[in-house]
Amino acid sequence: MRNLIRIAVVLCLTTILCSCASVSVVDTWRNPVLSGSRLHKVLVVSFARKEGSRAVYEDMLVSELHRHGVEAVSSYTILSQVKLPDWHALDRAVRSTGSQGVLTVQTIKVEKQTTVQPSAVATPYPGYWYPPAFPDWDFPGYYRSMALYGPIYVSTYDVATMQVNLFDLGSDKLVWASTMQTMEPENVTKVGKDLAHKVVKSLKKEGLI
């Protein structure tokens, strides 16, 4: 019975963890000068180094934009190179789509971060137990004292900071920008889906789409 309860608890915790958002919004900016009309066609450009990651981010954003009635195009469908071409080639491609705006996404930095979870008590377990160190201890005393001690957990993980920008092609000015972070940069599909949802939600709230 206890094993079944433990399994159920583990499954519940796993479900909760898996359902947690993989992307957090650090800040968002809206150009106060450019009001403009809603954008109905947008070109999505990812500056990911890996072609596969680039396609995932672009397709996720395109799919989410389509769900909200915006015609969107992934840049890799017209610029298939692993590395994006020079500015003039990119500009020609952008104009050829007839898009009103360009939505760009780029990982600007990846940092290592470390968290330390201390033990249950201020005094850590010394790492040994034998008579010279604790001459008065017996088994009951040892058992009760061990209940107070716990290991110190050290976790190291990557934190990626991502920048998403929306440019108006009529003026070439930056209309909207957002900085986001994720602790799962290697999980491109999950991050891309969550990022797309948050980006489009914000653009809709701002009346840009």
Interior CA angle at 178 toward 174 and 184, to 5°? Answer: 140
pLDDT at 147: 59
Residue that wins the pLDDT comparison between 75 and 151:
75
* Model pLDDT for residues 46-100, shown as the tens digit of each residue: 998 888 899 999 999 999 999 999 999 999 998 866 566 678 877 888 888 999 9
Lowest mean pLDDT among 9-13, 23-27, 125-129, 181-185: 9-13
pTM of the entire structure?
A: 0.73
Residue that wins the pLDDT comparison between 11 and 61:
61
- Using CA atoms, how far apart are residues 80 and 74, in angstroms rounded to an integer? 10
Segments of 90-142 assigned E as strands: 101-117
